[in-house]
Structure 1
C-alpha cells in the first residue's frame, strides 16, 4: 500500500509539472509555430496545446478523487505492536492458539469400534467422527450389532465456542494494534471488550463441561452396543480417545486463560480506580 501511495503522489506532481511546462511553451513559441507550420498548422498546434492543460488538470482531479491525501493519512497511522508486551496482548495470542487447538482436536478425531465374536467369520467394524451422531446397524451371519446415540449438540456447542473465540481474538488483536488510540480514548470500547470476554469465558466453561459429559457418554455407549442373541462370546475393542481428552483439557484451560485476562481488561475500563494526579 505504501508503494502505491508513493507512485500516486509522484504521478500527481508530474501532472502539474507538465501543465506548467506546456503553458510556458505556448507563451514563447506560438509566433514561431505560425511561421514554420503555416497559419492552419500553427493554429492546430496552438489548439492542441490549449487542450493539454485541461486534460492534465482532469487527470489531477481524478487522482484527487481517488483519495490520495486520505490514503496518505491512513498509511501514517501507527501500529501499536507494544501491546504484545502487555499482559492483555500476550493473553490474546494464547487465546487464539488454544482456541484452534481445542476445536481442531475435536473435529479431526476419528474413532473405531471393532466387534469380534467367536461364531462370526469376520469382524464388525464401525468408524465415527465429529459431530458424533452415532448410528450403527450391521449384521454378520446371525449377529446383529446396533448403536443409535447422538452427542452432536455437545460437540457442536464446544466447537462453536472455539471458533467464536478464535474470531474474536483476531478481531480484538487488530483493534489493539491498529486502533490503540480509539481503545484508550473511547471509554465504551474497553467495556465492550471486557463484556464480550466475560461472555466467552462463560461459554468456555459451559461448553467444556458439556463436551466432557458428552465424551463420557460416547465412551460408555461405544463399549456397550446392542447385540442380538446370535452374537456369542463377543469382544469389543475401541480406538484411543486421547485426542478428545486433550480437547477437553484445552477447553478448561481456555476458560482459565479467558478468566485470568479479565483482570487486565478491567484495569482498562473506566470503573478501575485510577491513581489521583498530583499537581506540582
Structure 2
C-alpha cells in the first residue's frame, strides 16, 4: 500500500519586524496612514454656507445651509424670503449630486486601509511563506499596481467633484437662486464661506497615495519571480552556463 503524501501545514505566525525596515514594508506603513487621512478628511466632512436677504420693509432673513458627505446636494433644501406678502418663504434646493466621485474616493481609501493591514500581517508574520510561495509576491505586485491606478482615477474624479461642490455651495450661488435677490431695493449679501480646508487636504492625500503606490509597485515587482530567480539553484545554474 502506497504511503499517503504528507500534508503540508500552514506556517505558524512568527513576528519579524525586519521587513518594515525595507522599502516594501516601510512604504506600506505610509500607505496605511495616508489612506486613513484620505478617506477621513473626505468622508467626515460637514460644511455650512450662509447668505442674508434684507427686504425693502426692513425685514431681514439669514440663510444657513448645511451640507456634508456624500454631497447629494440636490436633496438639501432651504427656505428664503420672497419679500412679498409679509414673511412668505420660497423652498429651494442646492444643485447637483456629486456622491459618485466622493464615494468612489472614500471606497478606494477604505479598501486600501484593509489591504495594507493584510499585507503588513503577511510581511511581519509570514515572511517565510511570502518568500517561498512565488504566487504571493506576484499577487502583491498586481494589487499594488491596481491600487496605484485606482488612486489616480478616484483622485482625479474627486478633484472635479470638489470643484463642482464648491460652485454649488458658494454663497453667491445661493443668492442667484433666491427670487427676492433679483428684485430692486432688496439687498442680498453673502455670509461666511464654507470651510473647504479638509476637502482640499483629501485631494492632496489622494494624489500622495497615488505616488506612494506607484513607487511601491517597483519594490513589489522586485520580489516577484519575474524579476529574480525563484531560488538560489537557478542563480548557480546561470553562473555555470556563463562559464561554459
Question: What TM-score range do you get, normalising by the shorter chain?
Answer: 0.7 to 0.9
Runs of 5+ consecutive residues of structure 1 not aligned to the other structure: 1-69
Hey, which of these two has a bigger chunk of helix by percent?
1
TM superposition shift of 1:117:
1.6
Runs of 5+ consecutive residues of structure 2 not aligned to the other structure: 1-8, 82-86
CA root-mean-square deviation: 2.1
Q: 2:65 aligns with which of 93, 104, 126?
A: 126
Q: Does residue 213 of structure 1 match 2:160? A: yes
Runs of 4 or more above 4 Å deviation: none
Q: Does residue 235 of structure 1 match 2:189? A: yes
TM superposition shift of 1:245:
0.4
* Deviation per residue, 1:200-227 (Å, 9 max, x gap): 1111111001111001001111121352
Q: Does residue 78 of structure 1 match 2:14? A: yes
Larger relative contact order (CA 8 Å, sep ≥ 6):
2
TM-score by length of 1: 0.69
In the alignment, what sits opposite 2:6?
Answer: none
Tell which structure's C-alpha radius of gyration is larger. 1
Aligned partners of 1:133 and 1:200: how far apart in 2? Answer: 26
In the alignment, what sits opposite 1:262?
Answer: 217
TM superposition shift of 1:109:
1.4
TM superposition shift of 1:148:
3.2
In the alignment, what sits opposite 2:113?
Answer: 166
In the alignment, what sits opposite 2:134?
Answer: 187
In the alignment, what sits opposite 1:115?
Answer: 51
Aligned length: 207
* Deviation per residue, 1:188-210 (Å, 9 max, x gap): 10010011111111111110011
* Deviation per residue, 1:3-25 (Å, 9 max, x gap): xxxxxxxxxxxxxxxxxxxxxxx
Q: Does residue 248 of structure 1 match 2:203? A: yes
**Contact residue 208 and residue 251 of structure 1 kept, 8 A:** yes
**Contact residue 107 and residue 131 of structure 1 kept, 8 A:** yes
